[in-house]
């Protein structure tokens, strides 16, 4: 047994990848010896996107710090294929995966590749460089295997095919990323819409899956069309032709990826097509936030109300009635009518008593010291990497619901004190990176800064005015000298 050298799983790493790294570490002469140690049935081909029936001791090693459920959710492609399935199928597939019983393939309904194209494990050359600097080796990331997404959501550059086929009839084997990833000098970036969509899909993919959500995705998307010009004011008619035309124009630079036809769009809106790429494409076009698409809660209100709300919201932002009318594709008379109701409602507004409210003032006071502590932690030190201080980051650290600070004015105020621009934040990251490189006794150059901070040169240049304020003069000169 070579179990002593079983590697720890990296963030976003595929289970396949950690098994492949194990194979390399053990130094087995042939694959089959390694398979014997890992798999219940050594002749089965290792599953690249999901998980095989593994020996209990291997499951134990993989689940030292996480549960099997977390392993499936955070280290297999499960969320990509299952998020928008019906609740029942999603849960059955999840159980099948947790039990490693193998029939998840049918349940997940993985879409076929167009024109019989082969799919290969892919990688991002810049992530690989980053991983090598941080972990000393590269590995296979889940987020580079999102079917339909052709660029790295983090670096926006084209993903590169390895020689490892994801499906198809090939000999069983475990191939580590290190064996496959070569130095890349030719980095090609995706265009703007590709970047936006990749980032959106990645954010959806990385969010927790709500296993209990029973809302059909088509219904949800459709509910979000109300109040737009694609559905008549009273919600009776929809103009799917206009929707499709606008949609296609919006994604014209996406080069024939995802949805391209009216009938396909209709199938998503009726929940027959549920793949994450297409759903996200529609959701981003409809300006649905990632949070909303992930939680998919249906309005329990009528369509009329949601139209009214939209008008109110826009008007409260100071947008004129005529402009609102143009944007929503209705007459300005209709908009004015709704607007007047809004003004009247505001005047009559009184505080209603109902459910006994929580004592938020008290909670606010008690949470404040924790928030201060969290901010300190996020700011980092010379030796610890700084993080941007945001409401979201503080809530994550304190394990509070994302929007909790809205109810806690003192805490929120504290976070706002530390709000900084991206450039200010970059300046802090540079100071940290330079210290780290120097501490490790290495020669400072641009590439090392880039790998550590993930920054582009223009980012560094943009942050120079702030760097001047916070860095010692020698450090500043040093940074300027590598530009
Ligand atoms: Zn990348």
Question: Model confidence over 46-58: pLDDT tens digits?
Answer: 999 999 999 999 9
Please say whether the beta carbons of 152 and 188 come within 8 A.
no
Please tell me the distance between residue 93's alpha carbon and the centre of ligand 1 in angstroms: 29
| Pair 128, 181: CB distance under 8 Å | yes
Residues 19 and 74 in one domain: yes
**Tens-digit pLDDT profile for residues 13-29:** 999 999 999 999 988 88
Q: 162: CA distance to ligand 1 center in Å?
A: 15
Same-domain check for residues 35 and 86: yes
Residue 463 lies in a domain: yes
- For residue 245, tell me if it sits in a domain: no
Question: Separation of 413 CA from ligand 1 center, angstroms?
Answer: 35
Q: Decide if 265 contacts 259 (C-beta within 8 A).
A: yes
Model confidence band, residue 460 (pLDDT cutoffs 50, 70, 90) = confident
Cα(73) to ligand 1 centroid in Å equals 21
State whether 143 and 169 are in the same domain: yes
129 and 17 within one domain: yes
Of 180, 211, 233, which one is at a domain's C-terminal end?
180
pLDDT at residue 316 is higher than 90: no
- Could you tell me if 392 and 469 lie in one domain? no
Indicate whether 26 and 113 sit together in one domain. Answer: yes
Query: Quick one: 97 and 176 in the same domain?
Result: yes
- Domain boundary residue, one of 371, 399, 417: 417
| Separation of CA 420 and ligand 1 centre (Å) | 25
Of 180, 197, 227, the residue at which a domain comes to its end is 180
Tell me whether residue 152 is in a domain. yes
Quick check: helix, strand or coil at residue 68?
A: helix
**In a shared domain, residues 388 and 429:** no
One domain for residues 115 and 15: yes
Whether 394 maps to a domain, the answer reads yes
* 151 CA distance to ligand 1 middle (Å): 8
468 and 369 share one domain: no
Q: Are 284 and 196 in contact (CB under 8 A)?
A: yes
**Position 1 pLDDT exceeds 60:** no
pLDDT confidence bin for 227, thresholds 50/70/90 = confident
471 plus 370 within the same structural domain: no
8 Å CB contact between 414 and 372: yes
Q: How many domains does the chain have?
A: 3
Question: What's the domain range around 476?
Answer: 422-482
Q: Measure CA 429 to chain center.
A: 22
The stretch 419-432 carries a mean pLDDT of 84
The rounded Å distance from CA 456 to ligand 1 centre is 13
406 in a domain, yes or no? yes
Do 96 and 49 belong to one domain?
yes
Q: What is the dihedral of CA 303, 307, 308, 313, to 10 degrees?
A: 130
Where are the alpha helices (H) located in 217-320, listed in sequence order?
217-223, 240-250, 262-269, 276-285, 290-295, 303-316
pLDDT for residue 267: 93
Is pTM beyond 0.75? Reply is: no
- pLDDT for 357 equals 58
Residue 429 resides in a domain: yes
Distance between Cα 308 and ligand 1 center (Å): 43
84-128 pLDDT tens trace: 999 999 999 999 999 988 678 778 877 776 667 889 999 999 999
In the reported structure, the alpha carbon of residue 295 is separated from the centroid of ligand 1 by a whole-number distance in angstroms of 27
Question: Ligand 1: distance of its center to the CA of 101 in Å?
Answer: 33
φ/ψ (deg, to 5) at 39: -105, 145
């Amino acid at each position: 047994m070579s179990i002593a050298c079983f590697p720890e799983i990296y963030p976003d790493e595929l289970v396949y990848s950690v098994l492949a790294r194990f194979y390399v570490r053990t130094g087995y002469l042939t694959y089959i010896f390694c398979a014997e140690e890992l798999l219940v049935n050594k002749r089965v081909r290792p599953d690249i996107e999901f998980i095989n029936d593994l020996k209990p001791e291997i499951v134990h090693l993989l689940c030292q710090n996480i549960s099997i459920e977390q392993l499936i959710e955070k280290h297999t492609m499960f969320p990509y294929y299952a998020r928008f399935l019906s609740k029942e199928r999603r849960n059955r597939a999840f159980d099948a995966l947790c039990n490693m019983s193998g029939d998840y393939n049918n349940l997940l309904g993985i879409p076929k590749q167009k024109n019989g194209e082969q799919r290969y494990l892919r990688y991002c050359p810049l992530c690989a460089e980053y991983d090598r600097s941080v972990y000393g080796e590269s590995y296979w990331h889940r987020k580079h295997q999102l079917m339909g997404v052709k660029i790295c959501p983090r670096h926006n550059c084209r993903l590169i095919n390895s020689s490892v086929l994801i499906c198809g009839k090939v000999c069983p084997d475990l191939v580590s990323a290190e064996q496959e990833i070569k130095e890349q000098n030719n980095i090609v970036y995706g265009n703007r819409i590709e970047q936006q969509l990749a980032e959106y899909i990645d954010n959806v993919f990385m969010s927790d899956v709500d296993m209990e959500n029973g809302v059909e995705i088509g219904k949800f998307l459709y509910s979000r069309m109300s109040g737009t010009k694609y559905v008549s004011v009273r919600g009776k008619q929809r103009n799917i032709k206009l929707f499709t035309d606008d949609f296609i124009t919006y994604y014209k630079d996406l080069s024939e990826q995802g949805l391209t036809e009216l009938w396909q769009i209709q199938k998503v809106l009726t929940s027959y097509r549920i793949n994450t790429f297409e759903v996200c494409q529609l959701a981003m076009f409809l300006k649905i936030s990632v949070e909303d698409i992930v939680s998919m809660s249906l309005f329990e209100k009528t369509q009329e109300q949601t139209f009214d709300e939209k008008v109110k919201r826009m008007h409260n932002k100071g947008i004129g009635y005529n402009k609102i009318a143009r944007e929503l594709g209705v007459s300005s008379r209709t908009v004015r009518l709704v607007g007047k109701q809004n003004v009247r409602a505001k005047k009559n507004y009184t505080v209603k008593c109902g459910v006994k409210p929580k004592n938020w003032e008290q909670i606010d006071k008690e949470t404040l010291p924790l928030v201060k502590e969290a901010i300190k932690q996020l700011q980092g030190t010379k030796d610890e990497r700084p993080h941007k201080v945001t409401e979201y980051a503080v809530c994550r650290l304190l394990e509070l619901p994302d929007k909790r600070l809205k109810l806690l004015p003192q805490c929120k105020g504290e976070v706002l004190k530390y709000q900084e621009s991206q450039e200010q934040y970059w300046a802090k990251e540079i100071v940290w990176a330079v210290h780290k490189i120097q501490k490790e006794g290495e020669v400072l150059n641009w590439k090392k800064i880039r790998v550590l901070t993930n920054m582009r040169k223009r980012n560094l240049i943009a942050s120079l005015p702030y760097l001047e304020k916070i860095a010692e003069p020698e450090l500043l000169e040093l940074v300027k000298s590598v530009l």
